[in-house]
């Protein structure tokens, strides 16, 4: 975990008499002070008002293909016959 450094904080110097336990305790205290109390709040997904659409039912009107339309064999989109590029494999101008 990356820690942030406060460059404005007073620096402590290490002297020859400091033991390893004191240095580790000082380091642990500094890391504990940097921990955000609301760390668990960041993991929760944000809730937006009006976003609960679990019980909504969406309907789309499906219109059958007209006589002057064709379905491209590559992109599977329905196009007007003026957009047809080739006759044998029905390809639109975008896919040819």
Neighbours of 26 (CB within 10 A): 13
pLDDT score at 35: 52
pLDDT digits (tens, 9 = 90+) for 23-56: 777 776 555 555 555 555 555 666 666 667 777 7
Q: What are φ and ψ of residue 52, in 5° steps?
A: -85, 95
What is the reported pLDDT for 84?
93
CA atoms of 35 and 40, how far apart (whole Å): 11
Q: 69-82: per-residue pLDDT in tens?
A: 999 999 999 999 99
- Average the pLDDT over 3-19 and give the result: 73
Coarse DSSP helix, strand, coil percentages of the chain, rounded to the nearest 5 percent: 25, 10, 65
Mean pLDDT, the chain, whole residue set: 77
Residues 74, 77: Cα–Cα separation, whole Å:
8
Inform me whether the pLDDT recorded for 64 exceeds 80: yes
């Amino acid at each position: 975990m990356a820690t942030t450094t406060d460059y404005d904080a007073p620096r402590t110097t290490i002297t020859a008499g400091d033991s390893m336990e004191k240095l580790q305790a000082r380091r642990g205290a500094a890391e504990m002070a940097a921990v955000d109390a609301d760390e668990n709040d960041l993991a929760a997904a944000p809730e937006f008002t009006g976003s609960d659409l679990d019980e909504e039912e969406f309907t789309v009107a499906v219109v059958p293909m007209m006589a002057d339309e064709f379905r491209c064999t590559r992109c599977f989109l329905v196009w007007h016959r003026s957009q047809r590029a080739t006759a044998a494999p029905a390809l639109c101008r975008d896919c040819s």
